[in-house]
Chain A
Amino acid sequence: MNRLTNTLEDLKNKSKKALVAYLVAGDPDIETTLELMTVLVESGVDIIEIGVPFTDPIAEGPIIQKAHDRALKNNVSLKSIFEMVDKFRENDDDTPLVLMGYLNTFIFNKALIEDNKNNVIDSVLVVDIPGELKLKDYGVYNPNINTISLISPTTKKDRIESIAKNSSGFVYYVTLRGVTGASNLDVNEISSNIEEIKKHASVPTLAGFGIKSAEDAQLLSQCSDGVIIGSSIVQMIEESSQSKEFDRIRTYITDIKNAIS
């Protein structure tokens, strides 16, 4: 069975919330990303979302945009990301890995997804494809990789239903109108929308975009099955890219983990 599905079921059985961390592959370089992935797991992260850099990441705020640019300067491609993940899997065969990126990269590199040698990747999350469309129809398909769809505060009820039914792995609820790293969370709206999603989805619903502090995470974990943290981690990676001292990230993750437990 798929690592992502396994992990989420396991957490559910233990009545625990999932903690998902996002970083951009190749920021500041592939070796450091590999090291950081281990740091994240050791600090309590359940699932890692690997950002696949793209020249035109329209859903990202400035922090993650800059990370994409840094990675692209290092010529990071989906091919080199698969090589990195192969290395990660030598020491960790349990942590679910999700590739998050933009449609053009996945269509262009569909052979890599189809191949997914040794099943190193568990899931794909494409930001710019509507939830009722299937990646399979664009040639992006592997029976062992599930596809996560996004639902946002502006998604109408009839679409919530069809997207929720179409999503495997989990449903990603975008908590705000805006780009990643923004800060205008409306907890009442979020909890009522997630309630609606849960009526239709057979998979868990996780919340992401704009979650910064342990307080945010704690609040949102009460109405969801878990939280996704991105921009804050990416910012800390940028700040530590010279020193390669990642203790701050460890502390930050541990605090959030405690807050949602």
Chain B
Amino acid sequence: MKLDKNNLPDKNGFFGEYGGKFVPETLMYALEELETTYEKLKNNNEFKEQFYKDLSEFVGRPSPLYFAERLTKHYGTGSIWLKREDLNHTGAHKINNTIGQILLAKYMGKKRIIAETGAGQHGVATATVAARLGLECHIYMGSEDVQRQSLNVYRIKLLGAQVHSVDSGSATLKDALNEALRDWVTNVDDTYYIIGSVTGPHPYPMIVRDFNSVVGEELISQSKELFNSMPDAIVACVGGGSNAMGAFYPFIKFNETRLIGVEAGGEGVETGEHAAPLNDGTPGVLHGSLSYLMQDDSGQVKGTKSVSAGLDYPGVGPEHSWLKDSGRAEYVAVSDDAALKAFHEVSELEGIIPALETAHAFAYLDTLMKEFDKNSNIIVNVSGRGDKDINTVANIDGIKI
């Protein structure tokens, strides 16, 4: 958690023109309270020790950087390395952020925890840390996602949290966020809202990035140790963008490393049926920050389409918008079909069933590996494991379980 390396966001929460704090007035004091607490704690040794202790003993960090031998042979160009966030407790990178935020909640004396979730991984990670501290926990989830991620719904319930199915709007992640914000407006005095991605109003994009940056920090030392140089590229999927931001952030200053974010292309970016705002959106305000957004010709937020519930979101974290415009990171999109193909391929070649979200990052290797020679090192951030997606993929393949 190196927190002061980069001076963004500015004091008003902006990354260039993106970010900010666009929320109903009732939440302004809660955001200020959170910001003050975080600024006070982020360099406090006791706080940092507790954070790293929990990551080590409860999550199982550091996660390995693993050489993907058969995948490397499959492409026959550079070496492919996998950052194994799928091996974390609860099965994804999401736990890094919730471990950090629950410490903030505890310090602030909040009694009640709320969170939104898409694929359910953030819901599970939140319910997990809330259970550990014995705090009341409510998870908002779009009713469509409740259907397609039923395994995670049950996991959340087993962990003692309540799942609230959200029917409004498109009944996916964006609507879960709306409902969580409404809960927070109503119960702001005693409730801590653990946002699950680098989205939302300031200071969330900064806090979530910082806690997830443990991934990028580990990558710096693991790269030196395993191949004695900085990687040539890091590839990560981007929905809201927290796993990508955590991996990218410590590398922003190393210009020799290409940073590549892969968005959900759904049925193809050209069809308009996708969830790729950085590829096919325009700046707009949703859920408290200004960032690239999928919107129609009258400024309404467009519905999204992706086989992956965790990427099915019309917005994206403001720092990604800044990285895109500044040219420091590249953002591409792959279709549902390409992601599903990669899902099967990686399972069979590496013995790792990736999350459908992660499968998007793998799918882009088809294009990317042609740009590299044998001496290069490419890292794929394996943001999560695919157990939660087995039903979805089986359905698509016409198999009844």
Q: Which A positions have Cβ atoms within 8 angstroms of B? A: 54-61, 65, 69, 72, 77-79, 102-105, 107-109, 127-131, 149-156, 159, 163, 174, 177-179, 182
Contacts and interface: CB of A to CB of B under 8 A. Distances in A.
Interface in B18-74: 21-30, 32
A153 B26 contact: yes
A179 B285 contact: no
B127 interface: no
B25 A131 contact: yes
A154 B188 contact: yes
Contact of B287 (A58, A129, A150, A177): A58
Contacts of A79: 298
A129 B22 contact: yes
A96 B56 CA distance: 61
B293 A154 contact: no
Given A103-B22, A128-B288, A77 B298 contact: yes
Given A58-B24, A152-B24, A182-B186, A104 B29 contact: no
Given A128-B24, A154-B28, A177-B185, A72 B288 contact: no
Contact of A54 (B29, B175, B300): B300
Q: Which of B23, B27, B28 has the most CB of A within 10 A?
A: B28
A56 B25 contact: no
Interface in B119-157: none
Contact of B25 (A151, A178, A182): A151
B26 A58 contact: no
**Which DSSP category, helix, strand, loop or mixed, fits chain B's interface?**
mixed
A51 to B, nearest CB: 14
A179 B25 contact: no
B286 A104 contact: yes
Contact of B284 (A65, A107, A179, A182): A107
B182 A179 contact: yes
Contact of B29 (A103, A129, A156, A179): A156
Contact of A72 (B175, B187, B284, B300): B300
Q: Which of B21, B25, B30 has the most CB of A within 10 A?
A: B25
B53 to A, nearest CB: 34
21 contacts: A54-B300, A54-B301, A55-B300, A56-B175, A56-B178, A56-B301, A77-B298, A77-B299, A104-B293, A104-B295, A104-B299, A128-B285, A130-B22, A130-B25, A131-B25, A152-B26, A153-B26, A155-B28, A155-B29, A156-B32, A179-B186
Contacts of B285: 102-104, 107, 128
B26 A107 contact: no
B57 to A, nearest CB: 37
A108 B298 contact: yes
A108 B295 contact: yes
A55 to B, nearest CB: 4
B76 interface: no
Contacts of A109: 298-299
Nearest to B181: A58
B229 interface: no
Contacts of A152: 24-26
Contacts of B29: 154-156
Contacts of A65: 168
**Which DSSP category, helix, strand, loop or mixed, fits chain A's interface?**
loop
- What are the 8 A-B residue pairs with the smallest beta carbon separation, nearest first? A108-B299, A77-B298, A178-B186, A152-B26, A55-B301, A104-B285, A152-B25, A59-B24
A78 B299 contact: yes
A79 B23 CA distance: 25
Given A69-B168, A104-B301, A128-B23, A58 B28 contact: no
A155 B25 contact: yes
A56 B188 contact: no
A171 B316 CA distance: 33
Nearest to B26: A152
Contacts of B84: none
B169 interface: yes
Contact of A178 (B28, B185, B286): B185
Interface in B278-309: 284-288, 293, 295, 298-301
B170 to A, nearest CB: 8
A177 B178 contact: no
Nearest to B282: A108
B281 to A, nearest CB: 12
Given A108-B298, A128-B285, A179-B185, A55 B169 contact: yes
Contacts of A149: 25
Contacts of B182: 58-61, 179
A54 B175 CA distance: 13
B28 A177 contact: no
Nearest to A77: B298
B188 A128 contact: no
B342 to A, nearest CB: 32
A95 to B, nearest CB: 26
A136 to B, nearest CB: 15
A77 B26 CA distance: 27
Nearest to A78: B298
A177 B24 contact: no
B35 to A, nearest CB: 13
Given A55-B169, A56-B174, A104-B284, A177 B298 contact: no
B189 interface: yes
A154 B30 contact: yes
